Chain A
C-alpha cells in the first residue's frame, strides 16, 4: 500500500497499470464466487509463479503476507472454531491469494503510474461534473493513510501504556482521531501551499 515499487523490466512491469488493476478486480471477484479448496490452491500456485516471472524474490512475497500474518492466524482460529477447519483453510487461502495478487500489482507498478491509470479510467466522471484528478488524489491519499493510521495508533497506545490506559478504547481512539485530523489539516495546507490546481 506504500510505494513498494520494485524496479524491473519483466512483462508484468511493462503491462499497462489499467490492465493489471482490471485483472486484479476480476480475479478478486472470481475468487469470491468459487467454493472448495481446488481453485484457490491453483490460484496460489499461479500467483507464486507470477512472482517468479516478475523477478521478485520469495522474501518480497513473504513481505506481502507478513503484516497480515497475525490477522490470518486469528482469522483461521476463529473461523475454524465457529464454522469448521475446512472453511478456515479456504478463507485464509483466499485472503492470502488476494493479498499476494494486490501486492504483485503494487510491486510491479509505480504508484504515480497507478494513480494516473485510475485518473484516466475515471475520465467519464467529467461528464457528471467531477474532476478525475481530484478523485485520483483522494485514492492515493487514502492508500497512503492506511499504514500511517496504523503507526499513529501504535504510538498513541504506547503513550497511553505509560498511564495504564492502553486497553481503554476511548483513551486511544480520541487522541488517535485528533492527531489524524490535525495531520489531515496540515496535509491539505501543504498541498495548497504548493499551488495544487488539478
Chain B
C-alpha cells in the first residue's frame, strides 16, 4: 500500500474521532445520536472504498485499545460488544459500500450522491445494527426497529451534509 493511502486512512480515522467532540444525544435503548456517522459517510465518499473502510477499521482498533474516542468519551472493547456494537462494526462495511457505489455510479449529482450515501450510511448500517441491538438489549426485533425510527431524522440530516460536503470538497480539491 502506498504512503498516500496510509496517510488518508489515518486522516479519516482521526476525522471520525474528532467528530466525537460534538456532544452526543443519549436516547433510551443505549444507542446515542452522534456526529460520528458523518465521519463514516465522508470516509467512504472522499477516501474511497478501500481507504475509507480501512480508516474505520483503524478507528475501531483505536477505540478497542481503550482510547475514549467515541462520542461521550466511550471507548474500550466493551463498547464494541454493547447495544450499539453492531452499528460500530457496520462502519467499515458502510464506508466501503459508499466508496464503491460512488466510484461506480458517479459523484457529480447531489441527489444521487445523497442516495448512495443513504444506502450505505442508513440502510446497511441499520441492517447490521438493529438485529445486533435486538440481541444485545434483549428486545424483540420489532421493538428495536421502532426504537431506531427516532434516529432516522438525524441520520437523514447527516446524509445531506455528507453529500453537500463531499461534492463541495471534490469541486474545490479535484485531486482527492
Residues of A in contact with B (beta carbons under 8 Å apart): 21, 24-25, 27-33, 68, 71-72, 74-75, 78-79, 82-83, 91, 94-95, 98-99, 101-102, 131, 134, 137-139, 141-146, 148-150, 153, 169-170, 173-174, 177-178, 180-182, 184-185, 187-188, 191-192, 196
Contact = CB atoms under 8 A, between A and B. Distances in A.
A140 to B, nearest CB: 8
B4 A149 contact: no
Nearest to B80: A29
Nearest to A193: B3
A173 B117 CA distance: 17
Contacts, number: 153
A29 B10 contact: no
Contacts of A33: 78
Interface residues of B, number: 49
Contacts of A21: 65-66
B46 interface: yes
B14 A142 contact: yes
A67 to B, nearest CB: 10
Contact of A32 (B42, B74, B164, B172): B74
B147 interface: no
Contact of A150 (B18, B58, B72, B73): B18
A141 B10 contact: yes
Nearest to B175: A185
B169 interface: yes
Interface of B: 1-4, 6-11, 13-15, 17-18, 21, 23, 25-26, 42, 46, 58-59, 61-62, 64-69, 72-79, 82, 161, 164-165, 168-169, 172-173, 175-176
A131 B66 CA distance: 23
A98 B76 contact: yes
A170 B161 contact: yes
Contacts of A74: 23
Nearest to B172: A178
Contacts of A174: 165, 168-169, 172
Given A33-B78, A174-B168, A178-B169, A139 B62 contact: yes
Given A28-B75, A142-B62, 17 more contacts: A25-B64, A27-B66, A71-B23, A78-B25, A95-B68, A131-B1, A141-B6, A141-B11, A142-B17, A144-B14, A145-B15, A146-B14, A153-B18, A170-B161, A177-B46, A185-B4, A187-B7
14 contacts: A25-B64, A32-B76, A75-B72, A98-B75, A102-B66, A102-B68, A138-B6, A139-B62, A141-B6, A173-B161, A173-B165, A174-B172, A178-B172, A184-B8
Contacts of A141: 6-7, 10-11, 14
Contacts of B42: 177
Nearest to B5: A188
